[in-house]
Structure 1
């Protein structure tokens, strides 16, 4: 990872792309929507409100989402192309869970309080959790959006503090008392630690590279100590009152005299060190995210001993009073307990998937394979058995992947897109090799391969469908602009394409010459889109928490399933679409869709 490669995802980790996308400037026009709390609701439910129309589009997340499915779904004949209403008829669909869900939405920072309670943070999920180590379960301790936690630390008096990476906020809470905002306006605020005297220090990483002292009362502004350290990530104060931490971009572990603003390298030769922590004996423990290793370091000599070989995508660690080591893995959506003596690891909690977004399906001999953009990994799912196969995971040494959030698949082409990293990745379905990685898009969502081999990208940041061709996608032309939130994209049978416009609430047909016809409007945040063998469109209407079928010829709507666990509330600092809900269709007409709320995959079969 080169210092120039500091493209940061909404999950709180950097991508491997060459450039940070221009999502924090006015050139990306999704600011017509903003998160607003649902009045009377103290859970993590949010809606997206249009500044142009004042209309609210629900994005249900957290506890507000009920865990129920309409296994008896309904069919409706609709009277015109301008209404999203559906008259229910007694046709039966069976909706079942193909891949079970999991806790967290990517797990990052860890912290242990004096009572031995383990806490874990999620950036994309914007929640802070308490983990029951004995049962391997987790419950929300601080809900979204203020629960976003890339790192967690405890003060000598028991006060818990955490960092909201995307929002740029730092919060604290003592016991069950009120939550206090200590700092704001620090995008990329990442790691933090308390000194023995109770003073608090924090760094920005990936969207900045600065060390601050934070006023624990939240009155004084952050005091800058030093900058350009090289990505001072998960750190802790040592017995000598020096701050020890990894330098993500330099492969080193360093110590900082925060009083003198002096940095000294303690150990080097790491691939990508992500976090450090001390045990009761004064040993310094380091996790290397690229190699998946837990390493013990002598802080005096710098000597290293690899104690446990785990999987890549390690993020953070915490050590309790008995020197038990807990390590988080964002791709596994899991936490492991490692014995420091033997290096043996015990899984505390894990998920089949991390945070599934867009999906695509390829079929061979009647067997469906679902390709999942799992944010921290690229995975496939057997459409019959639900068996999950990992193809690639973030930060693993030698792996090309950039926080995939959208996915499409057809024949030998699998395309993964990431709206934050601004990338479109073309993968060979047979070999799993990356054929091309295209950069410099503005918030790309779905991308599909056209008949002539070019790629059409739904570029939300420019409100456009962009045709891409040439070496590494250097030739780019706009097929159509002025689309309000283009997310889902699917090809038709005559060269036309269909697109969902999430912010406008419409589904449109786009001809090869760029001519647009609105098929259905007044939908609530339509995202994922697929096309059946007879030409009907399947849409995830996320704001209404339902799956619908649209007949393009007359705009008639069929409601397939309702009360679905879709529409994870957008994280502060991100997009209203957040993690897009994916929809795909198998060889026999089976409909598959992703649940970002549960981290699950569902299938709908027409009886």
Structure 2
């Protein structure tokens, strides 16, 4: 080996050593923080469901999680809130023969109604969990509604305030339906893969077609056809009423929720995962997206290398933390996903937590197959995966933090109990769990003995929490719409960012940490936060 080659090799080794030293050098506490940058842009809605074109030609769109009815401009796609929270919570919208408006408040179990824009909103029915779809009989103004998922029944809803009339139970999930000019109900049977005609007198069912996977909604076009959307396959199909013959007309994205047909024949389709409303013109075959979003309801957030993993409630997604590009991992209705509100990431697994379904779903990262479901939990708000294969989950319902291990995670041990609304968790570098409590605290919990230490109190509805490379914790104070950095040793605090679009209010009967604000910090100290008020993700760089 020549001297020059020896010199080059020595230089290369020195450079590699210097690079390694830099990569392992601790990140120092920054002097401050830069202004938040938009990584994933905002969008309208929080999942979009039922659609209707009213007597004035307005396109109305329903959102359950967003507690609002929106109006979407049929030309520009511009969207604005038409009826706000809490009265505006809607899964489906119906327009009556005199221009009346009725809608189902799914989580509240109510039917809301108003005669016109200036009239007061009235509750026509309540105490019916899972009220889903509804429609007026165009001949006489009778109103029908169904329970789906949290029940399975068809009701006649009286406009004069009398108790609803139960027509039938156990139909098979009569979802987005319409009443035809003959007075019969035409709609999909979600759990049977069928579209059918239902007699509102006695609930008798006549099947029209059985060739669907999960039909979500069906509307009549006045030309002898029933237009049907299949949420599992993403297909828009036409079914001839005379023969039952099905024709797939257009392939759309999966997770379609509903549709509406305007008087001019335009078919409007809602996709809950993409916060999208699209317009399809049967005569020309043209498909136009009026409005859409990269995320639907961003919640729990975790960084892993160059990727952000996000629980998007109607989907599970990955985000390139540099470019902001969003890609699907799972979408509702075309996977076994169960409305995730939080995510945990380990080398081998994801854990997706849903207080709504009372579950923690453990997914193998390499195969993307679910390896375990923990069901029957008391409103679990978050989970943390451990290297030994076990996990810990926090329950809003019980106030407990529980460690689960063994086959199918059936071995359970209560690590801590009596927490005042545990929301989000992170495992600190000291091995302990750090948990935010809705009551206003950040607490440290030792896994070995459950010893609890208050790290900070008098916080304004703390939700997401993450530890920085220099040892402090970043907490999202949702009620104050700010991120706060907390030194666990001294208790010193400083504001990372404020006036953030976080802290979306819960609807009636929902837990205060309704949509948890996700917070994560990468190895270079950059903070990422999900914004539940506008469905965006922001990046906040440390200033040095």
1:94 touches 1:606 (CA, 8 Å); kept in 2?
no
The match for 1:135 is: 76
Which of 495, 504, 508 is the aligned partner of 2:443? 508
- What displacement does 1:343 show? 4.2
1:123 touches 1:571 (CA, 8 Å); kept in 2?
no
Residues 1:92 and 1:274: Cα distance change in structure 2 (over 3 Å) = closer
- What displacement does 1:235 show? 0.7
Any residues of structure 2 matched to 1:366-405 within 5 Å, and which? 368-396=306-334, 399-405=335-341
- Summarize deviations over 1:300-333 as a string: whole Å, max 9, x none: 3211111111111011000011111001000111
1:155 aligns with 2:96: yes
- Summarize deviations over 1:172-215 as a string: whole Å, max 9, x none: 12222221221111111111110121111111111111111111
Residues 1:327 and 1:140: Cα distance change in structure 2 (over 3 Å) = same
Give secondary structure in 2 for the equivalent of 1:105. coil
The match for 2:22 is: none
Give secondary structure in 2 for the equivalent of 1:472. helix
The match for 2:140 is: 197
Cα distance in 2 for partners of 1:554, 1:447 equals: 28
The match for 1:115 is: 56
- What displacement does 1:90 show? 8.4
The match for 1:183 is: 125
Residues 1:342 and 1:271: Cα distance change in structure 2 (over 3 Å) = farther
The match for 2:195 is: 253
Q: CA RMSD in A?
A: 1.6
Q: How high is the TM-score relative to the length of structure 1? A: 0.82
Which of 449, 454, 474 is the aligned partner of 1:518? 454
Cα distance in 2 for partners of 1:486, 1:225 equals: 42
Residues 1:420 and 1:435: Cα distance change in structure 2 (over 3 Å) = same
Tell which structure's C-alpha radius of gyration is larger.
2
The match for 1:424 is: 360
Give secondary structure in 1 for the equivalent of 2:102. strand
Residues 1:174 and 1:505: Cα distance change in structure 2 (over 3 Å) = same
- What displacement does 1:92 show? 4.2
- Summarize deviations over 1:324-373 as a string: whole Å, max 9, x none: 1001000111011112245442111100100100000001xxxx211010
Any residues of structure 2 matched to 1:173-252 within 5 Å, and which? 173-177=114-118, 178-195=120-137, 196-217=139-160, 219-252=161-194
Cα distance in 1 for partners of 2:62, 2:375 equals: 30
Which of 21, 24, 40 is the aligned partner of 1:99? 40
The match for 1:33 is: none
1:307 touches 1:342 (CA, 8 Å); kept in 2?
no
- What displacement does 1:428 show? 3.6
Structure 2, unmatched stretches of 5+, are 1-29
Cα distance in 1 for partners of 2:493, 2:531 equals: 22
How many residues are matched? 512
Any residues of structure 2 matched to 1:285-324 within 5 Å, and which? 285-324=227-266
Residues 1:432 and 1:263: Cα distance change in structure 2 (over 3 Å) = closer
Residues 1:535 and 1:203: Cα distance change in structure 2 (over 3 Å) = same
The match for 1:71 is: none
Give secondary structure in 2 for the equivalent of 1:337. strand
- What displacement does 1:554 show? 2.3
Residues 1:343 and 1:474: Cα distance change in structure 2 (over 3 Å) = farther
Any residues of structure 2 matched to 1:594-605 within 5 Å, and which? 594-605=530-541
Cα distance in 1 for partners of 2:410, 2:210 equals: 38
Give secondary structure in 2 for the equivalent of 1:266. strand
Residues 1:430 and 1:532: Cα distance change in structure 2 (over 3 Å) = farther
Give secondary structure in 1 for the equivalent of 2:361. strand
Which of 557, 564, 569 is the aligned partner of 2:500? 564
Q: How high is the TM-score relative to the length of structure 2? A: 0.91
Residues 1:559 and 1:234: Cα distance change in structure 2 (over 3 Å) = same
- What displacement does 1:575 show? 1.7
Residues 1:316 and 1:542: Cα distance change in structure 2 (over 3 Å) = same
Any residues of structure 2 matched to 1:12-31 within 5 Å, and which? none
- Summarize deviations over 1:480-518 as a string: whole Å, max 9, x none: 10011111111122321110011x210001112100001
Cα distance in 1 for partners of 2:104, 2:149 equals: 14
- Summarize deviations over 1:433-486 as a string: whole Å, max 9, x none: 434333222211221112422101112222111101112211111101001111
Residues 1:91 and 1:533: Cα distance change in structure 2 (over 3 Å) = closer
- What displacement does 1:146 show? 0.7
- What displacement does 1:264 show? 1.4
2:33 touches 2:540 (CA, 8 Å); kept in 1?
no
2:224 touches 2:242 (CA, 8 Å); kept in 1?
no
Give secondary structure in 2 for the equivalent of 1:462. coil
Structure 1, unmatched stretches of 5+, are 1-88
- What displacement does 1:410 show? 3.8
Residues 1:260 and 1:498: Cα distance change in structure 2 (over 3 Å) = closer
